[in-house]
């Protein structure tokens, strides 16, 4: 069986999949995930996916709009983030408010889907794909709150959860590499950067065509190689810092040693929550190091 070795998805969505001719790849991925046909009409720009030192932990990897006016946030996270759930909330909230013009009624709020591809153990759970929606249940009668008949006609929806953001989390590393359906075929690619010749999921045929490393021009190949090296380097640095912190704290047992380690971890981009967990310092002590 032929296997296609391809470019990583997180690099592709920053470079290649923003091209309208390649929207079919994103459409295929989202259609398999949501189990509905998705037609992307444009890639959006917002405050949430601009590079800036002040907001570097909250930039969005890709923001797209479909033909129904719904917005899709796609984020790929490679390193541990204990506060990633809060980051998801922040990202959707920011996008919702950005795309409501002044003077518009709340009826004009756009539906947002937040798709999160994570390569670390987020939370606790045995599955590798999670879906979150907002439902309301009576605390006395346990009944589920629905829209009124007038609201159904006005919004074209049945349940309030259809108006609220929806969240998808793909815990890629927990996938066992056995593709039992077309969504699994996509997750196999996300985990292994490979697509098997017999995979039939929507979008993968086009992905096999455009995401080959040897199709990149020389400058792109250099950039992509550097990106991979940076990923390895960051992973190695964070692991080394964790080991260094563990042994230095044991040996010295002094707050000065912890503060020194915390300063190094901050410079490498580790979250304050992770540093607190590793060093035992307070949030106030760590923020003073910025």
For residues 62 and 260, what is the distance between their CA atoms, to the nearest angstrom?
36
Distance of CA 69 to the CA centre of its chain: 21
pLDDT over threshold 90, residue 67: yes
The answer, yes or no, to whether residue 264 has pLDDT greater than 70, is yes
Residue 152 has what pLDDT? Answer: 96
> Given a cut of 60, is residue 215 above it in pLDDT?
yes
Provide the whole-model pTM: 0.77
Per-residue pLDDT band for 239 (boundaries 50, 70, 90) equals: low
Whole-number pLDDT of residue 58? 41
Q: In the numeric block, which tokens belong to residue 109?
A: 């709020």
Residue 166: phi and psi, rounded to 5, are -115, 145
The residue among 99 and 187 whose pLDDT is bigger is 187
- Grade residue 31 by pLDDT with cuts at 50, 70 and 90: very high
CB burial of residue 128 (10 Å; 0-12, 13-18, 19+): middle
pLDDT at 121 > cutoff 80? yes
pLDDT-based confidence at residue 147 (cuts at 50, 70, 90): very high
Q: Phi first, then psi: give them for residue 126, nearest 5 degrees.
A: -90, -20
Residue 118: pLDDT band with limits 50, 70, 90? very high
**pLDDT per position as a tens digit, 19-28:** 999 999 999 9
């Amino acid at each position: 069986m032929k296997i296609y070795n391809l470019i990583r998805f997180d690099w592709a969505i920053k470079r290649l999949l923003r091209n309208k001719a390649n929207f079919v790849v994103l459409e295929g991925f989202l259609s398999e995930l949501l189990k509905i046909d998705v037609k992307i009409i444009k890639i959006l720009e917002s405050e949430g996916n601009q590079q800036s030192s002040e907001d570097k932990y909250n930039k969005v990897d890709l923001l797209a709009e479909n033909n129904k006016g719904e917005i899709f946030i796609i984020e790929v996270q490679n390193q541990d983030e204990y506060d990633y759930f809060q980051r998801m909330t922040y990202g959707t909230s920011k996008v919702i408010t950005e795309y409501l013009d002044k003077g518009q009624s709340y009826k004009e709020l756009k539906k947002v889907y937040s798709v999160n591809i994570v390569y670390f153990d987020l939370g606790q759970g045995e599955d590798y794909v999670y879906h979150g929606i907002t439902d309301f249940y009576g605390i006395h009668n346990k009944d589920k709150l629905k829209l009124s008949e007038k609201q159904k006609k006005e919004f074209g929806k049945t349940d309030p959860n259809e108006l609220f953001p929806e969240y998808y989390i793909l815990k890629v590393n927990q996938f066992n590499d056995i593709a039992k359906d077309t969504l699994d075929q996509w997750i196999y690619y996300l985990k292994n950067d490979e697509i098997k010749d017999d995979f039939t999921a929507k979008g993968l045929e086009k992905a096999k065509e455009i995401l080959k490393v040897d199709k990149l021009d020389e400058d792109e190949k250099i950039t992509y190689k550097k990106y991979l090296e940076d990923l390895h380097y960051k992973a190695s640095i964070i692991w080394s810092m964790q080991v260094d912190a563990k042994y230095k704290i044991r040996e010295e047992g002094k707050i000065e040693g912890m503060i020194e380690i915390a300063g190094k971890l901050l410079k490498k981009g580790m979250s304050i929550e992770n540093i607190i967990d590793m060093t035992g310092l307070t949030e106030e002590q760590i923020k003073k190091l910025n």
